[in-house]
Amino acid sequence: MGLFSAILEKLGFGDKAEAAEAPAPGAAPSAPATQAISAVDVTAKMESLAAASGQPLNWRTSIVDLLKLLGLDSSLGARKELATELGCPADKMGDSAQMNIWLHKQVLKKLADNGGSVPAELLD
């Protein structure tokens, strides 16, 4: 499992889809659920984690803080692994500041691509 998969898991992506697909115990298998799966509210989850942390972590601008709030490894090595996983351009990989900026935007974009509700101003 890659680091991005761990981010999705920590934010609860897939939980509702799996619950909707699983038949009730003792029930006959049925057609796939057609009920809409609501999007994961990334902002609400991250703000809740930030409030509970008691630390001044700014997940909205910092990939390090975002990873810390999720309880994931935020070391440079872990961030490089995540950047590689998400296809970071080679010219940004050599400069940790540029890589971090690219990585933060890419993680939020990928969360939105996977059904997460992310404010438009964080995707620019």
Give 32-79 pLDDT, tens digit per residue: 443 344 578 999 999 999 999 989 999 999 999 999 999 999 999 999
Q: Does residue 7 fall inside a structural domain? A: yes
Domain range enclosing 45 = 3-23+33-122
Dist. CA 56–CA 38, nearest whole Å: 30
The token pair that represents 62 in the structure block:
């910092």
Domain count, the chain: 1
83-124 pLDDT, tens digit per residue, is 999 999 999 999 999 999 999 999 999 999 999 999 999 987
Q: Does residue 88 fall inside a structural domain? A: yes
Q: Does residue 105 fall inside a structural domain? A: yes
Q: Does residue 76 fall inside a structural domain? A: yes
Q: Does residue 28 fall inside a structural domain? A: no
Q: Fill in the DSSP letter of residue 41.
A: E
